[in-house]
Structure 1
């Protein structure tokens, strides 16, 4: 699963892209109604993806993101210093523990382009997606 969070001053978005063994892809993008920091958005993207996987009853899940902080915090390399990130870190770790085989890997941004594009769609104003062309600053 590739995940990513997109930040805009008044809203955020999370996206996940599932690559399945037969070569298929399931892209998902979510607009979030709360204001989150960039770090929180990355956690939210991963949490949403993990919530979806609960319905799939998977034993193995490989995860990829281009944002190092969340990955290193979940691996215990970095401490979680911000109190606002601790609940997301704890939630993510509880989901991680439900898999027999779970991995987190940092990848260059160019390899996370599908998830990145989906998240940018999630921060567009609603009318841009449903009424035609729209310019967003």
Structure 2
């Protein structure tokens, strides 16, 4: 099973934002940092989820287990519902992707267990400035 650690970060809320993704599986680790432009921290979390789903689908991973330190993301995906209408388009797109996997799991983890994705997200913020 592929393990995917995701994190979104913003320097300000809203502010310059980045997404960090760490994928562990098949005996190797993949690291991704993406600049996201100017958005809120919650939007950055959703963008990290979407980018990670797109990567996994492009690599034809069929069974994935996502880890996030965002309870907002974990709850929205589990309930397939976003309380805030601002996030509904993000969630709808994510669910379209999720439904393409044979098995998909998402689990909330404490921030200290998500430090690799967090560092990658911070690097994504820096990439906005280049």
Partners of 1:52 and 1:59 in 2: CA distance: 12
Hey, what does 2:18 align to over in structure 1?
Answer: 13
2:67 is aligned with 1:68: no
Superposition pairs of residues 51-62 of structure 1, within 5 angstroms: 51-62=54-65
Flag the structure with higher strand content: 2
Partners of 2:56 and 2:121 in 1: CA distance: 19
Hey, what does 1:2 align to over in structure 2?
Answer: 5
Hey, what does 1:26 align to over in structure 2?
Answer: 30
Q: Which moved more, 1:7-16 or 1:99-108?
A: 7-16
Give the secondary structure class of the aligned counterpart of 1:57.
coil
Hey, what does 1:114 align to over in structure 2?
Answer: 116
| Per-residue Cα deviation, 1:107-133 (whole angstroms, up to 9, x for no partner) | 111110000011111112635xxxxxx
Hey, what does 1:133 align to over in structure 2?
Answer: none
Partners of 1:8 and 1:21 in 2: CA distance: 34
- Counterpart of 2:40 (choices 37, 40, 59) is 37
Q: Structure 1: where are the runs of 5+ without partners?
A: 128-137
Aligned pair count reads 124
Partners of 2:17 and 2:129 in 1: CA distance: 13
- TM-score w.r.t. the length of structure 2 is 0.89
Q: Structure 2: where are the runs of 5+ without partners?
A: none
RMSD: 1.5
Hey, what does 1:101 align to over in structure 2?
Answer: 103
Q: Which has the higher contact order (CA 8 A, sep 6+)?
A: 2
- TM-score w.r.t. the length of structure 1 is 0.84
Partners of 1:57 and 1:122 in 2: CA distance: 25
